[in-house]
């Protein structure tokens, strides 16, 4: 092994690396064969259930709770010198390829290509999943509901690509479940085509939220250049490639996709700009041990209604991670609450809270329990 103080030559160390790569490759192949065996077992179980006359079920190849456990364990046991997250990303890709051997996944995302939602889909499912762009959040839901796609990825919080409230509204009418969450650090760059010089720029295009998130930087560096809000950062990048004088604000995905150059990197006014996305699917996810649950709940419009809804959480000592309000579409001046908290619907304390809320509310819809983001 390459230890400090070791005086082997470059050739010798490279010979070590070659031998290690061979072993890693053999182990990855062995792992992939295990995944194939897992797929056979899953199929046999579903066939046996069908023969026993149990309800018609689909084979569920993708297991988010298991993936979260595998990735968490990798981070926890990591001893360096690589960062735990770096190693986990490598395993993310290995699992993604293993799953594709079992069954290739189709994942709908709010497009177009090159958006942060696509980056979130790839971060969550790895590069082996086939990511299919959709024009609207509604059509991401529709693709998963119809079975055209296995899963969907939509923005939910502080997004540069879509309306959060629109995602929440979709959940009110949909039978889909949340099967995961993705957090993505958003880094914006000023991008131009290789034939566009700094002095050629006459217009800077981006999604309106990206323009807003870079306002101070733009005021400082490009105070006299026109800014134009377009439908997405991906679209802005496409324009930068095709229209002379246009520069785009967008992320790495868009820069790579359209082969654009970065005139300036990380131009967002606030570092730690994170967007959160939800993964939607048709199945409920079993507990991973580190889960979150989302519900929609609506109460009668009377004083103290919100307090009554939240009190069971306080009594049980369960942390809320998010609460949003949307106007009810059926009753004037009534509201529905979108509440997220730590724990799984199968946990006893969570089941008790939900039972209590059911008594207090006029509507309670569990949207699913899912593993907390690991990466
Ligand atoms: O454990 C399983 O159920 C598998 O299918 C194996 C595996 C993996 O490669 O580790 C692959 C896909 C699943 O989403 C989870 C894990």
Q: Does domain 291-371 correspond to CATH entry 3.30.70.260?
A: yes
Residue nearest to atom 11 of ligand 1 (CA): 99
Which ipTM score applies to this complex? Answer: 0.99
Q: What is the pLDDT of residues 100-144, one digit of tens each?
A: 999 999 999 998 898 889 999 999 999 999 999 999 899 999 999
Same fold for the pair 13-98 and 291-371: no
Q: What is the pLDDT of residues 60-88, one digit of tens each?
A: 999 999 999 999 999 999 999 999 999 99
The pLDDT value recorded for residue 198 is 92
Q: Is the dihedral of CA 16, 18, 21, 22 positive or negative?
A: negative
Q: What percentage of the chain exceeds 70 in pLDDT?
A: 96
Using the atom order of ligand 1, give the atom closest to the CA of residue 102: 5
Residue nearest to atom 1 of ligand 1 (CA): 66
Query: Which CATH number applies to 105-186+274-281?
Result: 3.40.190.10
Ligand 1 centroid – CA 77 distance (Å): 19
Ligand 1 centroid – CA 66 distance (Å): 7
The pLDDT value recorded for residue 306 is 84
Q: What is the pLDDT of residues 260-298, one digit of tens each?
A: 999 999 999 988 788 899 999 999 999 999 999 999 998
The pLDDT value recorded for residue 58 is 85
Residue nearest to atom 10 of ligand 1 (CA): 95
Residue 159 has pLDDT above 50, yes or no: no
Q: What is the average pLDDT across 33-58?
A: 91
Q: What is the average pLDDT across 189-204?
A: 96
Residue 305 has pLDDT above 90, yes or no: no
The pLDDT value recorded for residue 324 is 85
Ligand 1 centroid – CA 90 distance (Å): 15
For 29-73, give the secondary structure using H, E and C: HHHHHHHHHHHHHHHHHHHHHHHCCCCCCCCCCCCHHHHHHHHHH
The pLDDT value recorded for residue 3 is 57
Residue 89 has pLDDT above 80, yes or no: yes
The pLDDT value recorded for residue 162 is 42
- Cα distances from 39 to residues 13, 59, 67, 101, 256, in angstroms, run 39, 9, 15, 9, 34
Residue nearest to atom 3 of ligand 1 (CA): 63
The pLDDT value recorded for residue 160 is 44
Q: Is the dihedral of CA 164, 339, 284, 62 positive or negative?
A: positive
**pLDDT category of residue 301 using cuts at 50, 70 and 90:** confident
Q: Does domain 13-98 correspond to CATH entry 1.20.59.10?
A: yes
Q: CATH number of the domain at 189-264, out of 3.40.190.10, 3.40.50.150, 3.40.109.10, 3.40.640.10?
A: 3.40.190.10
Ligand 1 centroid – CA 36 distance (Å): 9
Q: Where are the domains of the chain?
A: 13-98, 105-186+274-281, 189-264, 291-371
Ligand 1 centroid – CA 98 distance (Å): 7
Ligand 1 centroid – CA 62 distance (Å): 7
The pLDDT value recorded for residue 333 is 61
Q: What is the pLDDT of residues 307-317, one digit of tens each?
A: 888 999 999 99
The pLDDT value recorded for residue 161 is 43
The pLDDT value recorded for residue 158 is 62
Residue 1 has pLDDT above 80, yes or no: no
Residue 174 has pLDDT above 90, yes or no: yes
- Of the candidates 197, 186, 192, 185, the one whose C-alpha atom is nearest the C-alpha of residue 262 is 192
List the strands of the sheet with 177-185, edge to edge: 130-134, 106-110, 151-157, 274-281, 177-185
Q: What is the pLDDT of residues 328-350, one digit of tens each?
A: 777 666 778 999 999 999 999 99
Best residue among 29, 66, 100 to mutate for probing ligand 1's pocket (most ligand atoms within 8 Å of CB) is: 66
């Amino acid at each position: 092994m390459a230890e400090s103080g070791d005086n082997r030559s470059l050739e010798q160390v490279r010979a070590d690396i070659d031998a290690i790569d061979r072993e890693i490759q053999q182990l990855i192949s062995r792992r992939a064969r295990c995944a194939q065996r897992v797929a056979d077992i899953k199929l046999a179980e579903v066939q046996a259930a069908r023969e026993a006359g149990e309800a018609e079920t689909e084979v569920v190849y993708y297991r988010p709770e298991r993936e979260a456990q595998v990735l968490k364990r990798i981070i926890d046991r990591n001893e360096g010198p690589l960062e735990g997250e770096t190693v986990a990303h490598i395993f993310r890709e290995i699992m993604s390829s293993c799953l594709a051997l079992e069954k290739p996944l189709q994942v709908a995302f709010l497009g177009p290509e090159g958006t942060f939602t696509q980056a979130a889909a790839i971060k969550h499912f790895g590069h082996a999943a086939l990511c299919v762009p959709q024009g609207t959040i509604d059509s991401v839901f529709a693709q998963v509901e119809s079975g055209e796609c296995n899963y969907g990825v939509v923005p939910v919080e502080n997004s540069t690509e879509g309306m959060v409230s629109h995602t929440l509204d979709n959940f009110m009418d949909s039978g889909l479940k949340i099967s995961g969450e993705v957090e993505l650090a958003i880094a914006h760059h000023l991008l131009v085509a290789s034939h566009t010089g700094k002095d050629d720029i006459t217009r800077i295009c981006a999604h309106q939220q990206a323009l807003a998130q870079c306002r101070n930087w733009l005021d400082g560096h490009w105070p006299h250049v026109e800014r134009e809000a377009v439908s997405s950062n991906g679209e802005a990048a496409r324009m930068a490639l095709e229209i002379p004088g246009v520069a785009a604000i967008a992320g790495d995905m868009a820069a790579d996709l359209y082969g654009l150059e970065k005139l300036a990197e990380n131009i967002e006014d606030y570092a730690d700009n994170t967007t959160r996305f939800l993964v939607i699917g048709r199945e409920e996810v079993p507990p991973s041990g580190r889960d979150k649950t989302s519900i929609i709940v609506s109460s009668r419009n009377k004083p103290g209604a919100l307090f009554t809804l939240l009190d069971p959480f306080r009594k049980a000592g369960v942390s809320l991670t998010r609460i949003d309000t949307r106007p009810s579409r059926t009753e004037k001046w009534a509201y529905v609450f979108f509440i997220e908290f730590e724990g799984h619907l199968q946990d006893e304390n969570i089941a008790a809270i939900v039972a209590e809320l059911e008594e207090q509310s006029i509507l309670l819809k569990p949207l699913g329990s899912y593993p907390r983001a690991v990466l």
